[in-house]
Chains A and B, each alone.
Chain A
């Protein structure tokens, strides 16, 4: 029994260390290698036609700001169409959208959806039928895009290999409370280091569902949006990859967003992400490993990316195992030198690799003061770990009981 637990712990340690190595590699790449971006400096070109969709479900507080920002976008006239997707709203969202459409005929063309399956993916799927442009860009309704953001997001599509583009989101309400400060650091690590390093290394940057775009011909080629997933963005990333399309990340295509201001909302958000992401894992893992269109390094990174929401429960099991083994009389300092060494490496490097990445991201963003908050990130880390573990258990139960996954909208705080 003890031997079995030891073996399980070693497997967990190996897995955590692999992810730790990945964190360190990405961080070092971002710290020391120049970002040689092919697309960010394309100033002049014959820009393709673009439709910007803004899925909005009860977004009366924020939809106007988003449309105002997009109407000021620096993009050639006649080549940009705004399509707010009013998804079953029962507040004033539809009325506000119609007012903009009346004030900007030919520029704002609303899509009203009164019935149908709930969720962003389902709304986007229905709205896609009305898109006849070359590029589709999606913003959430609480986003305030800058003037040149559309061009920055569209530039990579000149490359015939690119199927989707992801920009960077920056929390607008970062200073509201401790949670928003911690989320700012996490977002910084996720985009400034993780996504950008994956872009630089030719791996698998992830399309994030908002502040991003997709080539309409590629989207139609792979069957459009899937509305049976909670993570239509990750699902799209992998389906494009399997069809021979790449996703590009644009670190300078930045856009403000709202992050959750309450822990309750944050937990719901991360549980939705975890469920959706793991759904994609089961759907695409084996196809990815078998694919002949995907290179070995992309497969490797793609598998690690798919497994990212499994790390939290695995880490929790690892911690429990270490304690259990200790009380079962496993002396770590004499008999099991190798295991002891592994546990120390796991404890000192494995558990904290993500923190190293966050510190590096704060440095790269010239927000070095944020690094002082790193000890408090542990709080967010533990909350996420518990939330993700619960989400995985809940998803397992849903699967056993054949219950459909339900999409929950993230609440807005701006007025």
Chain B
């Protein structure tokens, strides 16, 4: 009997020794587990934060923040309902304390530097921020926000125009009907507008979205279509030494090395190049471009499709690009270029982007840093 007991103890001890390292696994197995969270679609949307802020305002202020376009040709917005002060008087004290109402004509003084004080949400019909002050609370302006220069703001929602004078900075997001970012400003985070965003010279930016984005000054006149010039339509056989294979089903040229398209050329189809690609001046591509190296597009070209490069993309003056533009490196857009068309927005995406005086329709997203040329 005793040897059976000892044998049982030995087996039990061995089993315990084996199971001991498995205890965390067994405990984890018994724990209730939920599926991996897939982020909600709208979290990635450019106006996600603006929408959430608007929901909070609606919950606190109700109809007081409703507004409507003014009668006539003006784009001004006029508030509907009671004044902000009248509504504020009816708010519960804890809610009222979260807000500060900007008086008509007041120039709001923020704090001299970031982190010096907690600031309430600033709310008003027209909000003006004093020069060289910082406001880290959220801001809502029903009609207009005007930062007078050297300001740093964290987040702003405006149902009219947002004007950021010279040397301003936006830390997280701004959404308005239109936004003007003056020279030397920094627009970090997300800037979105229902109509236009104008970014002055020497500014930095990250993610911009609007039907019309003007960079580097006033509106760019669309370049004259290079298609009006008669170019020579090239075929793959025109490049006998380039190792090009033409796939007629998809109208694609597959090129195994570098490829240079001469000036004044017309290509009917897409180019996939496993090296560097150069498009000569005044050329027109009825298709898309992809290169494993860099892409250089000379002046006055027109690309009907997309442009993708694992290297940098450099686009000279007066080019028109109708499709998305994406690089794993740097994108350089020259003066008087137009990306996308009115009513046909597109995207420019790269870790770093430098833009001259040009126009984009849609989204321009520099994941690390975007700059307008000084």
A binds B: yes
Chain A residues within CB distance 8 Å of chain B: 36, 38-39, 41-46, 74, 146-148, 158-161, 170-175, 178, 181, 184, 188, 202, 215, 217-218, 220-221, 243-244, 252, 254-256, 293, 295, 365, 367, 369-370, 372-376
Q: How far is the CA of A173 from the CA of B40 in the complex (A)?
A: 18
Is there a chain A Cβ closer than 8 Å to B78's Cβ?
A: no
Question: Would A369 and B28 be within 8 Å (CB), given that A42-B349, A160-B272, A220-B249 are in contact?
Answer: yes
Determine whether the beta carbon of B44 is less than 8 Å from that of A148. Answer: yes
Determine whether the beta carbon of A254 is less than 8 Å from that of B24. Answer: no
Determine whether the beta carbon of A170 is less than 8 Å from that of B272. Answer: no
Q: How far is the CB of A294 from chain B (nearest CB, A)?
A: 11
Question: Would A188 and B323 be within 8 Å (CB), given that A146-B41, A376-B29 are in contact?
Answer: no
Q: List 7 A-B contacts (CB under 8 A).
A: A44-B209, A45-B324, A45-B345, A46-B346, A160-B288, A170-B38, A217-B249
Determine whether the beta carbon of A148 is less than 8 Å from that of B327. Answer: no
Range class of the B interface residue count = 35 or more
Q: B327 — which chain A residues lie within 8 A by C-beta?
A: 38
Is there a chain A Cβ closer than 8 Å to B123's Cβ?
A: no
Q: How far is the CA of A244 from the CA of B272 in the complex (A)?
A: 10
Question: Would A372 and B324 be within 8 Å (CB), given that A44-B347, A160-B305 are in contact?
Answer: no
Determine whether the beta carbon of A184 is less than 8 Å from that of B305. Answer: no
Most buried by B among A36, A44, A46, A293: A44
Question: Would A160 and B347 be within 8 Å (CB), given that A45-B324, A172-B35 are in contact?
Answer: no
Question: Would A147 and B308 be within 8 Å (CB), given that A44-B362, A372-B24, A373-B29 are in contact?
Answer: no
Other-chain residue from B272, B340, B347 in contact with A161 (beta carbon distance below 8 A): B272
Q: A255 — which chain B residues lie within 8 A by C-beta?
A: 38
Other-chain residue from B25, B247, B274 in contact with A373 (beta carbon distance below 8 A): B25
Other-chain residue from A36, A44, A175, A369 in contact with B35 (beta carbon distance below 8 A): A175
Is there a chain A Cβ closer than 8 Å to B266's Cβ?
A: no
Q: B46 — which chain A residues lie within 8 A by C-beta?
A: 43
Is there a chain A Cβ closer than 8 Å to B367's Cβ?
A: yes
Other-chain residue from A41, A254, A373 in contact with B38 (beta carbon distance below 8 A): A254
Q: How far is the CB of A272 from chain B (nearest CB, A)?
A: 24
Question: Would A372 and B365 be within 8 Å (CB), given that A45-B347, A158-B324 are in contact?
Answer: no
Q: How far is the CB of B285 from chain A (nearest CB, A)?
A: 11
Closest chain B residue to A158 by CB distance?
Answer: B306
1/0 contact string of B205-232 vs chain A (CB within 8 Å):
0000100000000000000000000000
Determine whether the beta carbon of B35 is less than 8 Å from that of A170. Answer: yes
